[in-house]
């Protein structure tokens, strides 16, 4: 039987506020355990939460950027469960009425083209603390620095059909949250985490099948791999005539498989109820409009503008707008250049290639857009050729010297003196009579042989345009 996967994603994004959601403690990552705590976030008796206004602003901004409707009145609820990293015994979240609902993101599917993935809801909540287990001492310790750090949870509709679409949705959401600067997106530090819900149904059937929920997906690649694995596993179960059971499963990236964590019978009953310590949250039109005005150009808009303004291929525009830093780097590089396409190519191949091999993100690139632009300007002005530019770039990466200095030091200026090159071409022709005859008899592939000779003579510095012209004439 043919089965169709049905996938829905839940994303927790940590908001970039300076302080926690219900107290004034710092949200800074990496502080010594329990340095960022106070009676409120450690759940002492008698304390009261005070909502951080910036959290609401960021949540509204995220909601507007994902086409959601804002609920002008929403509530905070208590989600009750016991765990030692949750000192109050409940998490303050939004349940019955979240801050925003009914949004969507547009992604591209290889088969279906652009498709919309619905967003069910966005709600605000506080994060829990962290347990540190010390096997050497058979002890567990608790660090409450993260307790009370603000999160938004973004829940998608079960509109996703393939692992690739899941990856595309997440990358898009990640890019948007970073464009609007509400989340740093650091997946290793857990600022952007995803749970995936997957079920299968016979093709053509309307009702959804029983789903499993995958946790511990800490990279885009892992999300795609884990979903693929889960589709295979469930297909196998169903083809055996058995039933998929509703459960939470854990992805093990080292073994490339998922294992059962807990079943439905162990699922929590959270006994949600409105938090009596917090009044309903009212958001007025003015506030929403103010935030709307602050919204920057979003990835899709930037991508269309790059195609229009710089005449880039759509695919290139998509790559270059995949993160705000890359888009900014490209625009700053291209700014003084006439040839925007050349700038795009160099950023995508040479710069990104180097960063990839070195495993550095564009944010941490030591080559600035200004310096990179100067290098490309040297090509555009005919000072160096593309070959030499590659050498200069490698040297820039090594020494961080400016491209002009490297060109001088290494004597890489392009040889574009017409008469000098003409003499050289004549020499090469005189020295290789057999090849000249063969070329004239139609073996035109030999053109690169002559070109190679000239480049060797000039140590790669000859202006290839002029040499091509000269060779064509003389041959
Ligand atoms: P919970 O809070 O228990 O995780 P929700 O109803 O809020 O449950 O659903 C969470 C996610 O699961 C949503 O992203 C939703 O789209 C997805 N989902 C719900 N039902 C299914 C299903 N049958 N198959 C796949 N995904 C599903
Ligand atoms: Mg869930
Ligand atoms: Zn605190």
Give the Å distances, CA to CA, from 421 to 5, 427, 435, 469.
Answer: 64, 10, 19, 11
99 lines ligand 1 (CB under 6 A): no
Listed residue (252, 178, 246, 171) closest to 217, CA to CA:
252
Above 70 in pLDDT, residue 137?
yes
Identify the domain containing residue 310 by its residue range.
297-410
Which two structure tokens, joined as six digits, stand for 38?
A: 């106070």
pLDDT per residue as tens digits for the range 216-235:
788 999 999 999 999 999 99
Res 1 pLDDT > 80? no
**Per-residue confidence at 463, pLDDT binned at 50, 70, 90?**
confident
Minimal-distance CA residue to ligand 1 atom 15: 8
**Residue 21 above 90 pLDDT?**
yes
> Is 428 in the same domain as 390?
no
Percent of the chain at pLDDT > 70 equals: 99
pLDDT at 420: 81
Same domain, 332 and 262: no
Mean pLDDT score of the chain: 92
Over residues 59-86, the mean pLDDT reads: 96
Say what the pLDDT of residue 166 is. 97
Of the three residues 394, 410, 426, the one that is the final residue of a domain is 410
Q: What sign results for the dihedral spanned by CA atoms 217, 123, 59, 317?
A: positive
150 and 84 fall within a common domain: yes
| Residue given tokens 């000779």 in the structure block | 453
With a 6 Å cutoff on the Cβ, whether 115 touches ligand 1 is: no
Q: Whose CA is nearest to atom 14 of ligand 1?
A: 8
In this structure, are strands 247-252 and 212-217 parallel, antiparallel, or unpaired? parallel
Mean pLDDT of the region 309-315? 94
Q: Is the CB–ligand 1 distance for residue 156 below 6 Å?
A: yes
**Residue 221 and residue 212: Cα distance in Å, rounded?**
19
At 453-462, the pLDDT tens digits run: 888 888 778 8
Dihedral angle of Cα 138, 143, 148, 152, to the nearest 10 degrees: -70
Q: Looking at the structure, tell me whether residues 73 and 186 fall in a common domain.
A: yes
Q: Give the residue-averaged pLDDT of 239-258.
A: 90
To which residue do tokens 């609401």 refer?
56
Residues 20 and 123 in one domain: yes
Q: Which of 258, 289, 320 is the last residue of a domain?
A: 289
The string of pLDDT tens digits covering residues 172-209 is 999 999 999 999 999 988 999 999 999 999 999 999 99
| pLDDT at residue 386 in the model | 85
Look up the CATH number of the domain holding residue 425: 1.10.10.410
For residue 210, give the ligand 1 atom closest to its CA.
23
Say how many Å lie between the CA of residue 92 and the centre of ligand 2: 16
User: Is residue 391 domain-shared with residue 273, that is, in the same domain?
Assistant: no
Q: How many CB atoms lie within 10 A of CB 239?
A: 10
Residues 51 and 122 in one domain: yes
pLDDT at 264: 67
Same domain, 359 and 455: no
User: Is the C-beta atom of 155 inside 6 A of ligand 1?
Assistant: yes
Listed residues 247, 268, 289: the one ending a domain: 289
Q: Whose CA is nearest to atom 7 of ligand 1?
A: 155
- Using most ligand atoms within 8 A of CB, pick from 7, 105, 158 the residue to mutate for ligand 1: 158
Q: Give the pLDDT score at 228.
A: 96
Task: Kindly give the distance from the C-alpha atom of residue 184 to the centroid of ligand 3, in angstroms, as a whole number.
Answer: 21
Domain count, the chain: 3
């Amino acid at each position: 039987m043919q089965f169709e996967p049905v996938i829905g994603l839940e994303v927790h994004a940590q908001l970039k506020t300076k302080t926690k959601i219900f107290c004034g403690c710092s949200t800074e990552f990496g502080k010594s355990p329990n340095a960022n705590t106070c009676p409120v976030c450690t759940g002492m008796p008698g304390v009261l939460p005070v909502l951080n206004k910036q959290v609401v602003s960021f949540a509204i901004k995220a909601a507007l950027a994902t086409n959601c409707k804002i609920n002008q009145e929403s509530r905070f609820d208590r989600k009750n469960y016991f765990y030692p990293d949750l000192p109050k015994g409940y998490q303050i979240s939004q349940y019955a009425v979240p801050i925003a609902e009914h949004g969507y993101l547009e992604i591209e599917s290889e088969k279906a083209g652009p498709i919309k993935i619905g967003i069910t809801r966005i709600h605000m909540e506080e994060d829990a603390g962290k347990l540190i287990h010390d096997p050497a001492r058979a002890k567990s310790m608790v660090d409450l620095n993260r307790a009370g750090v603000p999160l938004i949870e973004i829940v998608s509709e079960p509109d996703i059909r393939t692992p690739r679409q899941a990856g595309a949705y997440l990358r898009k959401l990640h890019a948007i949250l970073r464009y609007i600067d509400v989340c740093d997106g650091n997946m290793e530090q857990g600022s952007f985490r995803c749970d995936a819900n997957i079920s299968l149904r016979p093709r053509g059937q309307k009702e959804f099948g029983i789903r499993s929920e995958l946790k511990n997906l800490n990279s885009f690649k892992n999300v795609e791999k884990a979903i693929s694995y889960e589709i295979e596993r469930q297909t196998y179960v169903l083809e055996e005539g058995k039933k998929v059971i509703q459960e939470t499963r854990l992805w093990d990236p080292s073994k490339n498989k998922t294992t059962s964590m807990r079943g439905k019978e162990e699922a929590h009953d959270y006994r949600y109820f409105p938090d009596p310590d917090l009044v309903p949250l009212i958001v007025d039109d003015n506030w929403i409009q103010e935030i709307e005005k602050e919204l920057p150009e979003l990835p899709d808009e930037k991508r269309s503008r790059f195609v229009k303004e710089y005449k880039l291929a759509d695919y290139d525009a998509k790559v270059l707008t995949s993160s705000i830093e890359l888009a900014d780097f490209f625009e700053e590089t291209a700014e003084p250049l006439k040839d925007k396409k050349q700038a795009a190519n160099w950023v995508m191949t040479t710069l990104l290639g180097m960063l990839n091999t070195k495993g550095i993100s564009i944010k941490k690139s030591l080559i600035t857009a200004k310096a990179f632009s100067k290098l490309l300007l040297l090509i555009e002005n005919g000072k160096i050729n593309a070959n030499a530019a590659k050498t200069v770039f490698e040297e820039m990466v090594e020494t961080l010297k400016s491209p002009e200095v490297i060109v001088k030091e290494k004597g890489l200026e392009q040889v574009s003196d017409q008469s000098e090159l003409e003499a050289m071409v004549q020499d090469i022709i005189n020295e290789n009579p057999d090849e000249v005859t063969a070329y004239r008899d139609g073996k035109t592939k030999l053109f690169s042989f002559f070109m190679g000779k000239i480049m060797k003579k000039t140590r790669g510095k000859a202006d290839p345009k002029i040499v091509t012209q000269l060779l064509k004439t003389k041959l």
